[in-house]
Structure 1
């Protein structure tokens, strides 16, 4: 029978060979040797053939529709510097700067699923934030172009969707309410509400959120609420609801089980196939997920080590002294054998490994691939239609949606609700006991004034303390939602 194996061709394959058997009374030995490899497209694997994934694929095609606005994202000579917090300087001297990205140039193609990979601290998230208009806390230089034309940060944020690594969602909302809020505030105002809610139902079914759509999300660390994987899928659904032309994702598979991670990546692959530009940073992808990537960008020490088709990377490293063994996940081979110098048994081996990585970085910087990429980035293009994505929800809609969420937040946060009820009962009892013998004459006017002052101060301070205690929790949510354009300043 065919033996399942992974080869350096970076596609799911089956090894087909003839078997010679030698039988005796003691044992039976079968020798299998390879004769040829037959590539099996990913769409024909067992996971892709499952009825649930086929149904989800049809839903996704209906959700995306036939309209497409492909956008090629290119970046040239990106350099990111941040203050070095570990450096020791005098009280009046400015700290030296640490380079996170160094002369990074590349292209994210429309219709392709691009993965950014690299070891911890290589600059993956920094590169994603820089291209997506989310860079902060440092000095960023270089250029980012959409379809060959420079765009400002506000335009970038309107044209793309960004799924952050940390899932910042109001914990007192249900999954359905969170996705519905994103649909109401981020979809065009002229779209009927019924169409928006239909999109919400489609997105819930595409990402398999039916079982938890009416559950309160909860906060990380709490026993109640949805799981970490469901939380991640809710965040992805809130961004995909806008059907963006460009989608950036920071660690979209973190916290997900194998099947859910495969399902999410297959959704991203199909979005890319529909003409979208999909870019994701990812750690430890399985072999099935790795073979979904169209393009691969490898980072090391803030510089590009490889950029090109994912199916070609194993041959690229094999010709440079790092062949990928059979039965090995290509992603594991890249992390363990190409990028990692911690497995060296001595300082001499570690130094040799670092020199090998530095050699690969220098070789790519001088390669024809990099020169062609640099020339391609410099070619001007038609740009993007900035007016088509310039809309914002009405003030009345924003107020109604946010007031509804605030009401649910006040009711569903049972600890605060119980504290408010207990505080009101206690203060009412206290004021009643203090002023229970008030007379109805001229002498009691001052006492009545004091009672009214006491009650008004208590009501005012109680409301202020409630806002102050909730500010720390809701501020992060507010900043995240405002940055993605859910609402604006009044």
Structure 2
């Protein structure tokens, strides 16, 4: 079992509110040896060879750096080791952990700090790490708090802990270097046995780059297996790696210690001058230069062949082929589904609340529209024209509750999808947990704004205002808005992009509104198109509103308003008073069906995104 060990890096006075001695260290892990044998990858359509018979080994206690010129195959190899981002590629070869092929289950024992930063920009650094800890760390709140304190201390994130993360091209927040360190911090929270990093020093200054590599080195020394790709490290960083693997043209040019790499290339005729960065020399030697492609490829082929026939290559081959099966590494347990939903709901709620387009703007918009409707139909009398106006006001409420809700929620998934896909395949949570949390986070906003509009306009227009009718009107408005919200989420989840979702929603709403009961009498629709009304919550919502309104009216002499008059008004719209409760049930069913279809669409898209 894992036990608590000393802190990876010494920390000074804690800014987290606890003494340094209280900052918990990362837990120890069982040692893991990672081997890959004869990895070959080519593009399915073009047939381009990306990797060719690449083999290697990464041992616990060692920091391995993958280096090479652009296009050498470093990131592709990293993706192969993680069994991800391989869509459109044909792969061969084996990847083993302690002699066991884990396939995609390798994510349960590893962390992957990717180069592209994906965050929820409205959260602060500390808020984001706290929520990530809930998703990544099994244990009580105190354990998660200490883990967050530890990684913040290691990566120097205290200074910006209360700063919103922000987004590239959007809201300003933390710097690019701080954002890169936050990516790394999230992976450290899960305390992985194997840590993969894609360009971990990108965007960092030389001091912070050295600090990050020092953290990686210390992680490795504590028994972890650490593999990173890195682009042209300084000579000082180069010497900090335990092992280096140089790649060129999709092949292995060298794998061994940094010192042995210098000796190998010197023996091959590429000696490193004094006071020259050996990494720069080797990468330049292995690069394919413009207008010298054939010459460079011949040189690469000679170097790769020389490595395979050298003592370094033979030692590597023996090490890869004769690795015995060891203990199967224990996989990280996912947090409980309620914990996942709670953490994601907290994240979504903060994001929704801090997004002005979904909070203050919507409340102001609905208040203004409610006031406009109230003034437009101000105290409509119970004349034939007044009754027609009241029906028009009711249908307008249905439309306003629908259109603004759907078009306000269509970005439900497109903006979240890259982050959701990454975190799902990292094993942080299930699609169901994300979906439930995200839908629940929208519920308060897409309930309150509709009720504000309804109540602002209700007494101005002169709708029937008995307590029961007002409460039923609120319930109907809620069901209409939730039907719209669920439909918008469904369209968002099954559409591959926001433009397609927008293009789908427009014509769909036009059809549903035209068969909603005001523009055309539902009883007089042609048979070949009348079936659409049964799929329209416009119709059910309008009918429920009308039945509720005309069941009783604000008339001083209420004896003149009879059931016969109610039925007469409703019959002009081909509505029936006994459909009130069925209308409510049908709209409730719409909500459930839309949410279910949306979930299936999201689950399918996320599963195919790896």
> Is residue 60–residue 267 contact of structure 1 (8 Å, CA) maintained in 2?
no
Q: 1:160 to 1:53 in 2, by over 3 A?
A: closer
> CA 1:321–1:147 in 2, change beyond 3 Å: closer, same or farther?
same
Q: Structure 1 residues 61 and 271, CA, compared in 2 at 3 Å: closer, same or farther?
A: farther
Q: Which residue of 2 aligns with 1:162?
A: 112
Instruction: Tell me the SS of whatever aligns to 2:359.
Output: helix
Q: How does 1:27-38 map to 2 (within 5 A)?
A: none
| Residue 258 of structure 2, aligned match among 310, 314, 318 | 310
Where does residue 459 of structure 1 map in the other structure?
A: 401
Corresponding position of 1:391: 333
Q: 1:322 to 1:108 in 2, by over 3 A?
A: same
**Which SS does the other structure have where 2:117 is aligned?**
coil
Cα distance, 1:489 vs structure 2 = 2.8
SS of corresponding position for 2:431: coil
- Look up the SS of the partner of 2:203 in the other structure: coil
Of 413, 420, 429, which residue of structure 2 is paired with 1:471? 413
**Using a 3 Å threshold, how does the CA distance of structure 1 residues 67 and 384 change in structure 2: closer, same or farther?**
same
Q: Confirm or deny: 8 A CA contact 2:28 2:222 kept in the other structure.
A: no
1:111-130 matches, within 5 Å, as 111-130=61-80
Secondary structure of 1:291's counterpart equals helix
Q: 1:98 aligns with which of 43, 48, 53?
A: 48
Relative distance call for 1:243 and 1:216 in structure 2 (3 A) is same
What SS is found at the alignment partner of 2:240?
Answer: coil
Match of 2:349 in 1: 407
Please say if 1:354 is aligned against 2:301. no
Aligned to 2:3: none
Q: Contact (CA 8 Å) 2:11, 2:153: kept in 1 or not?
A: no
- Once the two structures are overlaid, the 10-residue window that deviates more, 447-456 or 392-401, is 447-456
Alpha-carbon distance between aligned partners in 1 of 2:288 and 2:114, rounded to the nearest angstrom: 29
How far did 1:394 drift? 2.2
1:332 corresponds to? 280
Query: Does structure 1 residue 82 correspond to structure 2 residue 30?
Result: no
Any conservation in 2 of the 1:119–1:300 contact (CA below 8 Å)? yes
* Alignment partner of 2:392 out of 443, 450, 455: 450
Report whether the alignment pairs 1:212 with 2:154.
Answer: no
Structure ID, larger Rg: 2
Quote the offset at 1:241 in angstroms: 0.6
Alpha carbons of structure 1 residues 383 and 464: separation in structure 2 relative to 1, 3 Å: farther
| Cα deviation, residue 352, structure 1 | 3.7
Superposition CA RMSD, Å: 2.6
Query: Is the counterpart of residue 171 in structure 1 residue 121 in structure 2?
Result: yes
Matches of 2:236 and 2:9, distance apart in 1: 14
1:375 aligns to 2:318 (yes or no)? yes
* CA distance in structure 2 between the aligned counterparts of 1:98 and 1:469, rounded to whole angstroms: 37
**TM-score scaled by length of structure 1:** 0.80
Structure 2 spans left out of the alignment, 5+ residues: 1-7, 15-19, 433-610
Indicate the SS of the match to 1:97: coil
Q: Is the 8 A contact 1:80 1:140 kept in 2?
A: yes
Partners of 2:36 and 2:9 in 1: how far apart? Answer: 35
Structure 2 length-normalised TM: 0.65
Shift of 1:356: 1.9
Q: Using a 3 Å threshold, how does the CA distance of structure 1 residues 314 and 225 change in structure 2: closer, same or farther?
A: same
2:11 paired residue number: 55
Cα distance between partner residues in 2 of 1:435 and 1:72: 75
Residue 293 of structure 1 and its aligned partner are, at CA, apart by 0.4
User: Is the contact made by 1:251 and 1:280 (CA closer than 8 Å) also made in structure 2?
Assistant: yes
1:143 is matched with 94
CA contact (8 A) 2:58 2:225 kept: yes
Shift of the alpha carbon at 1:452? 3.0
Determine the C-alpha separation between the residues in 2 that align with 1:445 and 1:371: 92
The structural deviation recorded for 1:486 is 1.6
Task: In structure 1, list runs of 5 or more residues that go unmatched.
Answer: 1-51, 84-94
Q: Work out the CA distance in 2 between the residues paired with 1:119 and 1:257.
A: 21
- Whole-angstrom distance in 2 between the partners of 1:370 and 1:167: 36
Tell me the CA shift for residue 372 of structure 1: 3.1
Aligned to 1:86: none
Task: Pick closer, same or farther for the CA change 1:461–1:392 going to 2, 3 Å.
Answer: farther
Residue 430 (structure 2) aligns with: 488
* Structure number with higher strand proportion: 1
Q: Name the structure where helix makes up a greater proportion of residues.
A: 2
CA separation in 2, counterparts of 1:256 and 1:334?
23
Instruction: Kindly state the Cα deviation for residue 413 of structure 1 after the two structures are TM-superposed.
Output: 1.9
1:261 matches 2:209: yes
Q: CA deviation at 1:77?
A: 1.0
1:140 Cα deviation after fit: 1.4
The whole-number CA distance in structure 1 between the counterparts of 2:238 and 2:384 is 85
